[in-house]
Amino acid sequence: MKQLSAQDAMFLHLESSRTPMHIGALSIYDPTSAPGGEVSIDQILARVEDRIGLADAFSQTVAWVPFGLGHPSWVRQAHVDVEFHVRHLALPGPGDWGQLWTQVGRLHSRPLDMGRPLWELTVIEGLGDVAGVPQGAYAVVSKVHHSAIDGVSGQEVTAAVHDLDAAGTLAPEPRAIRPDRPPTDAELVARALAGAARQPWRFAKVTQELIPGVRALFDGAVRGQLDVAASVAAVPRTRFNGVVTPHRTVTGVRFPLEEIKRVKAAVDGATVNDVVLTICGGGLRRYLSAHNELPSVGSLAAMAPISLRSPADSVAGGNRVSAMTVSLHTNAQDDLERLQLIRESTRSSKDLEEAIGTQLKTEYPEFIPAAAAGSASRLAVRLAATGDRPLVSCVITNVPGPQLPLYSVGAELIDMYGTGPVLDGLGLFMPVLSYNGSVTISATSCREMLPDPERLQAGLEESFGSLVASVS
């Protein structure tokens, strides 16, 4: 049994029928590499059953502390009903991208069953007319609650059901679930009270560690080395800063990683992530312009999560992230100019983040009483949706993946697009995944905010094409 951190518990507190807080992916497989060139749903079920012990998220359920006296705990179950968690459906003809994305949006709209392990897989067949996808291919839509994993620790779930070759000779070794004894309410309360008794000493230690960061922030601002003003610049409201409905739209587009690297090399000091942010900024500028909604003053800004994991805990469950705010410079018309501006913005944001340190964002929330933490999280979301000044326009999270092919039941994984949660005031989530020489940029939004996801997809493609043409 393991208690959730304050950061993990926040995602449970934000869960509602309108705002399910799971993350996931649309993965597309080519079964021609599998024995016999086919993969059945029974084989997929057997594979998940065999590997269920390789990722804690597959078997853990939430145990709430009575009266909100502490953060909830994860309790591993001895048995997981795999047939409940792995579903199966087929698209009607013709089975094209539009139908597939619509189905992904519908699946992503549905909350997970909070009384069971917080994950689902849905196998989708009938991809008869999906451009760029071979005949006979199938898709898998995955959902895992954000309280259980972040983008980096989610690789544990990915690794659990994949092999490094089609024959399965380079595969993770299956292991049995290590179940926990179900705790009593009295035990949960006792653990919570014991943790509370240690808080004063932890608070003093964290405060002491924070002092050098505060001093560095002050000195950097005085000397002009840190642009604090830019980090709090006004962000204009857009359609993505309102109240969300329970219904989701999802879309995505794939780009060659080599082309992104070529664009990066044309601007001194730029990174792959800078190019990705530039593509997103250009896509959003084009989308809002098409609706005559591009703000006349100011620029959209993105919250960009930063992983705090060391290589040693890269697959440990839960969330270990901070975040920086980056201007997308949507007020710049030229895409290459936007890349140059974003390069400076990300550099400034990283310097500011390093000066502040991570304690304030990741350690101090641990000292908020658990009962108050839930109310504070929900209040912050309501204020973000109704206030005059949004903090950010969207979330853009970049999750590097393996640069070699993966296989599941012998079928090669050929495409992977991310999905994520949206909230009131933060109605656009754009995950970026890299895998085997490609980068995919996806968008999850409220159906009322993004009723035409194909238009945003076209904007992203135009932004990328403009950057490539600028450096050719």
Query: Out of 199-203, 231-235, 406-410, which region has the weakest mean confidence (pLDDT)?
Result: 199-203
Q: pLDDT tens digit string along 60-88? A: 999 999 988 889 999 999 999 999 999 99
CA angle 262, 349, 255 (to 5 degrees): 30
Residue 417 identity (one-letter amino acid): Y
Query: Out of 63-72, 254-263, 292-301, 443-452, which region has the weakest mean confidence (pLDDT)?
Result: 63-72
Q: pLDDT tens digit string along 303-335? A: 998 877 665 555 556 666 778 899 999 999 999
Q: By C-alpha distance, which of 20, 145, 29 is closest to 444? A: 20
Residues in the chain: 472
Residue 210 has a pLDDT of 52
Q: pLDDT tens digit string along 145-170? A: 999 998 677 788 999 999 999 999 99
What is the overall mean pLDDT for the chain? 88
pLDDT for residue 229 is more than 90 = no
d(CA 431, CA 439): 10
Residue 38 has a pLDDT of 95
Residue 164 has a pLDDT of 96
d(CA 315, CA 432): 19
Residue 353 has a pLDDT of 57
List the structure tokens of 214.
Answer: 């505060």
Residue 201 has a pLDDT of 47
Query: Out of 189-198, 362-371, 450-459, which region has the weakest mean confidence (pLDDT)?
Result: 362-371
Q: pLDDT tens digit string along 7-19? A: 899 999 999 999 9
Distances (CA, A) of 311 to 106, 153, 405: 36, 11, 22
Does 289 or 318 have the greater pLDDT score? 289
CB crowding 53-92: b at 16 or more within 10 Å, else e: bbbbbbbbbbbbbeebbbbbbbbbbeebebeebbeeeebe
d(CA 218, CA 405): 47
Query: Out of 47-51, 64-68, 350-354, which region has the weakest mean confidence (pLDDT)?
Result: 350-354
Model pTM score: 0.88
Residue 267 identity (one-letter amino acid): V
User: How many other C-beta atoms can be found within 10 angstroms of the C-beta atom of residue 244?
Assistant: 24
Does 240 or 385 have the greater pLDDT score? 240
Q: Model confidence at 389, in pLDDT bands (50, 70, 90)?
A: confident
The highest-confidence range among 133-142, 211-220, 364-373, 388-397, by mean pLDDT, is: 133-142
The pLDDT of 55-59, averaged and rounded, is: 95
Q: Model confidence at 234, in pLDDT bands (50, 70, 90)?
A: confident
